[in-house]
Structure 1
Amino acid sequence: MPGERLTVVVTRRLPDVVEARMKELFRVELRDPDTQMSREDLIEAMGRADVLVPCLTDDIDANMLAQAGPRLKLIANYGAGVDHIDVASARQRGILVSNTPDVVTEDTADMALALILAVTRRIPEGLTEMQSGDWPGWSPMAHLGGRLRGRRLGILGMGRIGQAVARRAHAFGMQIHYHNRKRLRPEIEAEVGATFWESLDQMVTRMDIISVNCPHTPSTFHLLNARRLKLLKPTAVIVNTSRGEVIDENALTRGLRAGEIAGAGLDVFEHGHEINPRLRELPNVVLLPHMGSATLEGRIEMGEKVILNIKTFADGHRPPDQVLPSML
């Protein structure tokens, strides 16, 4: 493999500077026009590529990997999450998988705070009223939201992004609580005054706002299920900038419609872009099209990570961001 010029197939368009650098280093096939590949397209691409560069919308399962050509040796995912790739099956077939961790932390945390503000301060309602031209003028009781200072924020998943959300929320005067697989070191907790809850059930019953920041794995699927959502205070708000599958979306919709949950800010959804239509109709819900990491700086840094992983692999070394089944 060292010294060879690899054939790299990219499934979606990337920033110009990233594509230009790929052209310099590899025999690269870019996606033009920028449309999502079908299942058949992906299988064909895996048949002719040494390296496939997919995105989170490209589901790659065991059956597809079984049809991959013998050339495919690396799936260099453009994104941190790899729940759309059967990593275990890839490893069994000698195909490495890499991702792009750590580059979307600050951008995603920014979006989590933006959603918290948008829901609690009813910003979209005000925006809609102004854009429609129906604003009758200021009134003391119009658009009353809630103050963030003093509210209890429960962070579900206290990894890099969760900690970045905690730092931002702490600056707003919020009380920081969290549930995580492992408790953080005391000095990290002390930085934001975070309180650890070993029991997720006990935490959610006491929080004013829940921020979902854990990855989607078999153990986190519907972690916020119908039973746990029933434990929330009726004044509570849920924000999710991680993975939609962590929340039972139908149960969440029912709770919001029944007034059992005060509001939600969602940047991700359980079934991709197929969103529960009843969820769209609710005035106490803010929906975004998976914009959490959508900054130009972040997208370029993701591309640089992909290139580094491919280049390191091409030089005969282990990609620095290789993902192993044991890590999931």
Structure 2
Amino acid sequence: MNNAQHQINKSDRGMWLGLLGIVIFSVTLPMTRLAVGTPEAPQMSGVFIALGRAVVAAGLSAVFLLATRAPLPRRQDWRPLAITAGGVVFGFPLFTSIAMRYVEAVHASVIVGVLPLATAAVGALLHRQRPSAGFWGCAALGSALVVAFAMLHSGSGLAINFADLLLLAACLCAAVGYGYGARLSQRMRAEHVICWALVISLPLTLPLALFTWPAAALKATAWWGFAYVAVFSMWLGFFAWYHGLALGGTVRVSQVQLVQPFLSMLFAVPLLGERLDAVTVGFGLAVIATVFIGKKMPVNVPRLREAL
């Protein structure tokens, strides 16, 4: 197999692993909605969900690190690990968990649709990748479609409410965490990146989770939602996601996120009883088309030594 064919196969594996991660992540918003409840029937607090899920995932991570005899991160890796944790252990879970009490999963999923463009921008900056104008055009078009859908579906015109601002802040946090995590995945096992990020966060997440532990009895569905975001969204999903970003390149693989809003909507229908209409399907097909077109656009990826 020549080098060009090897790079193509590596990129394809990265895309498939990235897609697997996104399928896992796409259930996060509906499950968070189950766990947090509504203003009329509140369940867990958003703070407990965000920090408690990190504690559960950190426990699993500690076992995994010991079982795989993971080496300690190098001194130069601690700072990017801390930034990764700030984005994906604290920022994104905290902002989305608080917001999900006040918006439906269908609405939240399209706001989060701006994440691929943010991730691509962070990835291009960190990895010195130079996407073509056509690639950025596809990324911008896909993001514009999901933002337009969010405004249309919300029925509030151009107004942006507080929950939407929290979701946008969550996207920024996730983009930074994804970018730095993908960078670390070039020189660490992808699974070890999220595991170390969770473990080093434990001195903060554990006491805060205990302090915000629910005082009242909760529905079983709330605990099922919490269990999913703790084990899958906060842990296993990152195994596939970071590995996919490392193999296929952050800028290119990040565009798979464009299908996440509409996968989240599909899961929200049976899980939450929310409605999926023809407009949603139409926007979904249009956005998915931009993903595959963008995948064909050239991305200038530097040699590994330069990217690190």
Q: Larger helix proportion, structure 1 or 2?
A: 2
Structure with more contact order per residue of length (Cα contacts < 8 Å, sep ≥ 6): 2
Higher-Rg structure is 1
TM range (shorter): under 0.3
TM-score by length of 2: 0.28
